Structure formats: structure tokens, C-alpha cells
Amino acid sequence: MHPTNNRIADLVPEVRTWRRWLHQHPELQFDLPKTSRYIADQLGTMDMDEIHENIAQTGIVAIIKGTGDGPTIALRADMDALPMDEYSNDEHASKTPGAMHACGHDGHSAMLLGAAKYLAETRNFSGTVVLIFQPAEEGGTGAKAMIDTGLFERFGIDEVYGMHNMPNLPVGQFGLRSGPVLAATDFFYVEIEGVGGHASRPHKCNDPLVAANAIYNGFQSIITRNVDPIRNGLISITAMQSGEANNVIPQTATLKGTVRNLHEDTRDTIERRMGEIVEGVASTYGVQAKLTYDRLCPVTVNHDEQFNYAALAAERIVGTDNVDREQPTRLGGEDFSYMLQEKPGAIIFVGNGSTAGLHHPEYDFNDEALPYGIAFWTNIIEDRLPVSK
Ligand SMILES: [Zn+2]
Ligand SMILES: [Zn+2]
């Protein structure tokens, strides 16, 4: 017996074809003309009750109504790729230099299309399913852009679920946790303007390198001295740029990096202290310095009740032994967090097997995972929207 069900097993070859087409045609951010056309065209061949295109530029929403009244549940997939080259000799490798599906969003979209086909054919549920295909998950907060169009009110969404593939979690296994799953993710930039000049006359300059060094060290002390040790966070300074010549004190310096944490109060503390340190260092060393702090996405927090529904839906496919309800919290970020701030819901990880890691040039979504992902989507709908007997 197939671990999912026979109808889903029958769908897999077609879903694999969609997945590989999407993999060959990666597009970035909100600019997904081919991807969104392809997905909308596939939905057009299915018995959807409504299809709405061009939401937040290239987002798509499709509606499937069940056999009776009931709540409205949204299932979300992301569609965008990453700006990097793929290292692959596979037939379905990226045809676009500088773009690749290195996060498996091709698989996510294909699995949701598979679920769409199954749910439209079987309609073994009472209520409404809202399928969300979103652009710009990778650093573009496409989820927020779709929400800002009034997504949740317009379609009357009561609950929302997300799924992401997880390399090194075996195929046929799922992982999830209640509470914080992924970190709040922010990017920061510090621009320093000093007074440059001849390296032999430092007393006539205001060296931006001294200030950059002090800011670098000052930021390190935020984590150890300003935030609660058990509500900790992470600051990674990933770039410092300044200067060129051996005998010139430069005029400017820049730093950039990322901040991750799991608590909004920690996030507030880090942003505030970074601002104070930049200001204090600037006045100490007589330079101008400006911090730009971009909040990309909040902490992804699974709601307890919906976490449990998601775990039960996964356990119905693969059994309790193959569902890890205590996945470690990770410091990656996911803009699905914005959807979980709107309505109760949960995100679950589906095993991708021993592939290269996410965002690696050799990564590929594992087609063996397709039936498990499709079955998760169909189970959560049939569990949460039962047909009254
Ligand atoms: Zn990613
Ligand atoms: Zn991703």
C-alpha cells in the first residue's frame, strides 16, 4: 500500500512534470511572469471555483468550495527562486543563468497544484479552501505584500498552513514544533563618513576605520551585555568596506550584516542599542554615522492548536514515529510569519532526504517527497473541514 493514497500516487508523475518545468524556469522576487502564468494555466485546467491573478504583482489565489458550509482554510506555497547559478548536469537544471530554485519553492508550488487537483476532484470536505501562491519569499516579503492587498479579509480566511522542505530530514518524515519555529530576520547597514587625508597626518583626519572598528566591537557587546541570556539573539556583521591605498586614510566606511532572534523584545533591544552605539561612536570619534535597520520578517510562531492539527495530519500519512513534534528552532527566516500574525496556523517541514542544503548551488528538490507533501495538504483540509454525516 502506498503511504499516501492511490489517487495521490496516480497524480505524482504529472506533479513531477510541473515541478521540473518550474525548476528549469526560475524567476526572482515579484518578477515571475512565466512562473505565475504556468501555475495559473495548470489551475485553469482544474475545476477551480475562482482563480485570482496579479495579487501583489504575480501572486495567485485559487478557491475550491466543498460540498457544504464550513470554515475557510488557506494553504500557502511560495514560487520564487534565488539569484545564484545552479551546479547541475540534470536535464531539468535551470535554463536561466543567475537564477535557480535553490530553496525548493518549485516543489512547494508543484505540491500545492497537486493538492488543488485532488481537492477539486474529490471535494471530500465542507467549507472553503484558499490556495495561495506567493511571490518574493526570498528577502522580498511577498507574503506581507499579499496581506497588504487585503488578502485575509477578501477571502475570509480563518486558518492558514505553510510547508517547507527540509534537507537531511529523511523522505517520508515530517518535522514541526509549537511556538517559535524560525527567527525574526533583519538586515542592517552602517554608513560612516569621516575626514580622509594623508596617512602621515592622522591628527588632521577623522579616521572612519577607527569608528568602524569601535562599532564592530560595540555590536558584539549587545548580545553578551544587553539582552537576556536565555532570550538571546544573533548579530552577524558580514561585510566591512573601506579604504584602498597604503598611504591614504579613507573618507568613508560601511558595515552590513543581519540580526536574528526569537523574541520581539530582544529585537527591540538590539535595534535600540545598535542605534545608540553608532551615535555614541560617531560623537566619540568625530565622524558622521548612520544606521539603517530593515525589519524583514518577524518570528515565525506556530499556534499550539494548529500545530497539533498539522502534526495529526502528517501522522495520518506516515505514523507517529515519522513525525518529529519537537524540531529544533532555527535562526533562518520565513515571511510566512506575517500570515501567522494574521490568523492561527502552522508551518511544517517535509523531509527532502540527503540532498545539498537550502541555498546551496547543488541543491535540488527531491521528487520522492512530492506524494508526502500533497497528502499533507489534502489531509489537513479533510481533517479540519469534515463533511457532516
Ligand atoms: Zn530560502
Ligand atoms: Zn524557502
Kindly indicate whether the domain formed by 184-297 is annotated with CATH number 3.30.70.360: yes
**357: CA distance to ligand 2 center in Å?**
11
**pLDDT score at 139:** 86
Instruction: Please state, in angstroms and rounded to a whole number, the distance separating the CA atoms of residues 122 and 150.
Output: 29
**129: CA distance to ligand 2 center in Å?**
23
**103: CA distance to ligand 1 center in Å?**
5
How many DSSP H helices and E strands does the chain contain?
A: 10, 16
Helix axes of 105-122 and 33-44: crossing angle, nearest 10 degrees: 20
Instruction: Please state, in angstroms and rounded to a whole number, the distance separating the CA atoms of residues 73 and 160.
Output: 6
**205: CA distance to ligand 2 center in Å?**
46
**258: CA distance to ligand 2 center in Å?**
17
Give the 3-state secondary structure of residue 160.
strand
Q: What is the largest CA-CA distance in the chain?
A: 88
Question: Which residue type occupies 10?
Answer: D
Q: Report which bound ligand comes closest to the CA of 100.
A: 1
**pLDDT score at 389:** 65
**116: CA distance to ligand 2 center in Å?**
21
Give the 3-state secondary structure of residue 192.
strand
Q: Report which bound ligand comes closest to the CA of 104.
A: 2
**203: CA distance to ligand 2 center in Å?**
50
Task: Using a CB cutoff of 5 Å, list residues around ligand 2, an ion.
Answer: 103
Domain residue limits, the chain: 6-182+299-384, 184-297
Label residues 205-236 b or e (16+ Cβ within 10 Å = b): bbbbbbbbbbbbebbeebbeebbeeeeebebe
Q: Which three cell numbers stand for residue 307?
A: 500545530
Predicted TM-score (pTM) of the model is 0.90
**pLDDT score at 98:** 97
Nearest alpha-carbon partner for 162 in 363, 26, 368, 342: 342
Terminal alpha carbon distance of the chain: 27
Where would I find the H helices in the chain? 6-24, 33-44, 105-122, 142-148, 151-154, 208-225, 264-285, 304-318, 336-342, 370-384
Question: What is the pLDDT tens value at each position of the chain, 389 positions in all?
Answer: 456 788 999 999 999 999 999 999 999 999 999 999 999 999 999 999 999 999 999 999 999 999 999 999 999 999 999 999 999 999 999 999 999 999 999 999 999 999 999 999 999 999 999 999 999 999 889 999 999 999 999 999 999 999 999 999 999 999 999 999 999 999 999 999 999 999 999 999 999 999 999 999 999 999 999 999 999 899 999 999 999 999 999 999 999 999 999 999 999 999 999 999 999 999 999 999 999 999 999 999 999 999 999 999 999 999 999 999 999 999 999 999 999 999 999 999 999 999 999 999 999 999 999 999 999 999 999 999 999 86
What architecture is the 6-182+299-384 domain classified under in CATH? 3-Layer(aba) Sandwich (3.40)
**288: CA distance to ligand 1 center in Å?**
35
**pLDDT score at 3:** 65
Give the 3-state secondary structure of residue 379.
helix
Instruction: Please state, in angstroms and rounded to a whole number, the distance separating the CA atoms of residues 375 and 4.
Output: 6
**pLDDT score at 6:** 87
**pLDDT score at 245:** 97
**73: CA distance to ligand 1 center in Å?**
24
> What does R_g of the chain's alpha carbons equal in angstroms?
24
Instruction: Please state, in angstroms and rounded to a whole number, the distance separating the CA atoms of residues 211 and 192.
Output: 8
Cβ of 321: how many Cβ atoms within 10 Å? 8
Q: Report which bound ligand comes closest to the CA of 107.
A: 2
Instruction: Please state, in angstroms and rounded to a whole number, the distance separating the CA atoms of residues 280 and 8.
Output: 61
